[in-house]
Structure 1
Amino acid sequence: MTKVLNKRPIAHDPHCYVFQDGDRGGRWYLYFYDQERQSRHRHSLGRIAPNDLLEAERKGLAKYIEFKTKSERGEQIRTLTIEEMADRFLAKQKKRISSIPHNGISAKRYLLMEHHARWFLKYAGQNLRPIHKMPRNFFANYETWRKEAAHQEGKETPRQTTINAEVSTFRRMFEEIAVQEGYLNKDSVPTLKSVKLSKDKKHRRDDLTVDEWKELERSARLYWSEGRTRWNDEGEIDKSASGKNILKEVLGNSQRAKNQKIHRKMLYLAMRISMESGIRIGSLRKVEWGHIRKNNTLSNTDQKTWILIDVPAENTKTGRRYTINAPVARHLEELRKLTNFKGRADLLFTNQKTGQAFSERIWKDSLCEMLVEAGLASWAEDDNNNARKVDIHSGKNLTWYSFRHTYITFQLTLNETPVTMLAAQCDTSIKYIEDHYFHYRAELSTPTLAKGRNTLKAATGDLEWLQIRPIEQKV
């Protein structure tokens, strides 16, 4: 039992008082009874001389007003520090890790949030500071600080989308811990605004140009997938006197090298299937032979080209089942000739030694090698066999996902595929395609806009007046 000395009641609230604890050397405390939650709290008033009654009453009254205000707002009386909030959030997310699709989060997603939390704590600085003492504009300078901090650590400038992802995680911390557990109400949460992107750069996805795709496909098919290279040790393409490429074998003739060559050919086909279908790479890696069927609505001739792929809901990002129609019969035929695993439950892309799915490293390293062979990238200075890294000459962030982006872009700009049909084919929304991929170019729209309009009348003059300089638009 605490020995209560010099009890001084708070005016107008007989349930609360300031007192000295006789068992703690006469230290001053505030006793506060939260009538809303019917909970009791004892809070130290800090360093006050045992005989300084006026200072004790002043500090006690100030702390009482703070507690009373929080109680009336429905907030917790006890405090939560910035660091405690981050730790609780990560602990909560860690429990959600699951290998079952759409039944939590992946371990990779958790590591990303853990990375975001580290930046949050670096920015906050005083991690023992109570969250209710963070001003509303606390994160106003986060974007500027984040870019400067990256430079100081020798890292690349973070993209605006990266900063927005971090801010989104910060927002979740406050919502899921501070607000839901009653430490703050929504009106007390610091303002967390996303970085605004210009319309022409809004979430633009890095894709390949037509020329980049042609060179990547050609070099991957002719050289990389065959276990050969055109490049010498000086990083130049070797040519004979007649101008032909001088090829160098890079894999050898061992059984391991033979398996590697098969894997390369399989991954080349994965690239082709992705480019012809727009399927997400995560879904493609989970496709089984049993998910593939004929399109019986087509002629026998077209059935030898077009194939239906039924992607189960558990293999999709959206958690929806959908069907892809793609001209990939030839690629799948070649894949079946290469693989030893052809059962309905077997994955399309499997390690030929283990029968298991290709590892993340195989997928990543193979794309790096294809980009280098195509001359679209060079090996980075910090590249090594354990972590292959390349410097892409265009500055783009090209990944396996880029083939999906390229497919969508080509379908919109080259094939004029209706957005509604493309959204269904790619398991996404019309708005998402319009926001991320569709970039209208009026000068290229004539063939589409003119369809079905055979009675359009042409002007009779020479239209010299069109050479007049147009009025400059005000910005």
Structure 2
Amino acid sequence: MSRKEDGTLVLNKTKIFDTENCYIYQRGGTESKYWQFYYWDSEGREGFRIRKSLRTKDFLIAQSLAQREYINIRAKIQNEESLQTLTVAEMTNIFLAKKKLDISSVPHAGITPETYRILKNRCEKLNNFLGKDTRVDHLKRSAFKEYEQWRKDGYGGKVPKTKTTIKTELSTFKSIIQDIAIKDKRVISNAPDIPKITIPPSEDEHRRNHFRHEELRVLIGTINEWKEEKTLRKTAGLHRQMIACAIELMLNSGIRVGAVRKIRWRDIRVNPKDNPKQQKIFRIITIPSENNKTGKQYECNCEIALIVEHLKRISRFNSPSDLLFCNQNDGKTFSSRIWADCWNEIIKRSGLEEESGRRFSYYSLRHTYATVSLANKVPLQLLASNMDTGTKYIQDHYYHHETEELTEELNPIKRTRKMTADEMLAQYLPQKI
């Protein structure tokens, strides 16, 4: 009698074909005396065990069944087939279970709940496209060849507005297969080929979409109409006003939407160095490290005093620890769905995306703040510090060369007249005699 590493008592151990890595045995300390089959894939890099009950108490029958199992296993190995099965649904479930453990509210310490929601949504697309019950080891190299067209035909959710969306989805699928099917479960050795998605220049542009002057006028007008509409429930109307205030706060501060959603009353203070007139306009907002994308604390000086005063009048939750933007029924943060639904409704009503062909998000408000600040001659270094970003990042992503706004800057008539090039040159030319 021997004891396995996991503590199971092994009785009557008998090798199959005199191999060390395959045998039958009976479990000690249990009522059942069924013979058990055991195989250890010692040739694999990480090893793989097969344990199963042979459902018989007869030694000779058990030995015969085990020999048949051993022969089948060796045949699969020789034919480079998987020793275990894994369906697409099982693979995505394992992937999501691992990712769920990584959810964290601490920046750079895991993934956010929103990221998990996106991954869950993409797993659903993977299941729908490949089929939940499809075995991963039966996938062909061309398994994803038709995925782009499948998405364009309206399957797997709304038709993507950009090819970039399809490309990121395929990238996620590759990671899932690589992490679970190859590294974890070892049911395959190579992932199916991922089609190359060519991103058109219009999508590959890395500068951020901001609201131009006329677009901003339309956006604000749409928001004002939307927030004043009568709603069936009073709290729904209050929530619209609060989301409108949040949008205005982002336009006036450039704070990231993720941080705005977590601002508490204790994070806002009056600047003691401001004069009385300035104190009626400006406030300083502290963004704690745990609420910030970069994982560090910073402070933003911004023109939001009137917004804050309005929020105090309409919100039931004004204690220092309360959220600035919260559900008026329970004081909890608005769900991601509420934030998304409100923004989508506002943008749809405005018609800005249809007219311009450009896409806008909450981050467009941050980009607009940066663009307007640069146009107002705010020094780049000060702006970068106030937005918690780098000067190069602002230049690469936020600065927009608006030709229409440069007439006064470029027109020499508007400047104080100085010597022309010809007049300067004449000073150095030999004088005619």
Q: TM-score, normalised by structure 1?
A: 0.61
Query: Could you tell me whether the CA contact under 8 Å between 2:129 and 2:156 is conserved in 1?
Result: no
Deviation at 1:348, TM superposition (A): 1.9
Deviation at 1:292, TM superposition (A): 1.2
Taking the aligned partners of 1:340 and 1:122, their CA distance within structure 2 comes to: 44
2:181 corresponds to: 178
- C-alpha change, 1:86 and 1:445, in structure 2 (3 Å) is same
CA distance in 1, matches of 2:130, 2:119: 16
Do 1:376 and 1:394's aligned partners in 2 also have CA atoms closer than 8 Å? Answer: no
1:344 to 310, 314, 320: 320
List aligned pairs for 1:211-290, cutoff 5 A. 211-218=214-221, 220-221=223-224, 223-225=225-227, 227=228, 250=230, 257=234, 263-290=239-266
Distance 1:265 1:16, change over 3 A: closer
Shift of 1:159: 2.0
Matched, 1:376 2:350: yes
Write the letter of the residue equivalent to 2:199. Answer: L
8 Å CA contact retained: 1:15, 1:33:
no
Unaligned ranges ≥5, structure 2: 1-11, 23-38, 53-70, 424-433
Q: Does 1:165 align with 2:168?
A: yes
Structure 2 CA distance for aligned equivalents of residues 420 and 138 of structure 1: 50
Q: Does residue 305 in structure 1 map to residue 284 in structure 2?
A: no
* Percent of residue pairs bearing the same amino acid type: 32
Q: Compared with structure 1, are the counterparts of its residues 445 and 213 closer, same or farther at alpha carbon in structure 2 (3 Å cutoff)?
A: closer
The structure-2 alpha-carbon separation of the partners of 1:411 and 1:157, relative to structure 1 and needing over 3 Å to count, comes to same
User: Contact 1:289–1:347 (CA<8 Å) still a contact in 2?
Assistant: yes
SS of equivalent to 1:211? helix
What is the number of residues matched between the two proteins? Answer: 378
Cα separation, partners in 2 of 1:34 and 1:410, compared to 1, 3 Å: same
Q: Deviations over 1:319-364 (max 9, x none)?
A: 3322212122232233334434332212223445544444556545
Quick check: 1:117 aligned with 2:109? no
Per-residue deviation at 1:207? Answer: 3.8
Measured on the aligned residues, the alpha-carbon RMSD in Å equals 4.9
- Calculate the TM-score normalised by the size of structure 2: 0.66
Once the two structures are TM-superposed, the CA of residue 66 in structure 1 deviates from its matched residue by: 4.8
Match of 2:372 among 400, 404, 410: 410
User: How much does 1:170 deviate?
Assistant: 1.4
Q: How does 1:120-139 map onto structure 2 within 5 Å?
A: 120-124=126-130, 128-131=134-137, 134-135=140-141, 138-139=143-144
Checking the alignment, whether the CA contact within 8 Å between 1:278 and 1:405 is kept in structure 2 is yes
Counterpart amino acid of 1:34? S
Give the Cα separation in 1 of the matches to 2:209 and 2:168.
18
Mapped contact 1:287–1:348 kept (Cα < 8 A): yes
Alignment check: 8 A CA contact 1:16 1:32 kept: yes
Point out where structure 1 has 5 or more consecutive residues left out of the alignment.
Answer: 18-30, 44-57, 71-75, 229-249, 379-390, 462-475
SS at match of 1:188: coil
> Which residue of 267, 272, 285 corresponds with 1:291?
267
Tell me the distance in 2 between the aligned counterparts of 1:407 and 1:279. Answer: 9
Q: CA 1:219–1:325 in 2, change beyond 3 Å: closer, same or farther?
A: same
What's the CA shift for 1:182? 6.1
Shift of 1:263: 4.7
Where 2:324 maps in the other structure, the secondary structure is coil
Question: Which of 300, 303, 312 is equivalent to 1:324?
Answer: 300
Q: Which residue of 1 aligns with 2:213?
A: 210
The counterpart of 2:159, out of the listed 152, 156, 161, is: 156
Report the equivalent of 1:232.
none
> Which structure carries more helix by proportion?
2
Preserved contact between residue 81 and residue 130 of structure 1 (Cα < 8 Å): yes
Corresponding residue for residue 310 of structure 2: 334
Q: Does 1:86 align with 2:89?
A: no
- Distance in 1 (CA, whole Å) between partners of 2:241 and 2:324 is 13
Change (3 A) 1:201 1:335: same
1:408 alignment partner AA: A
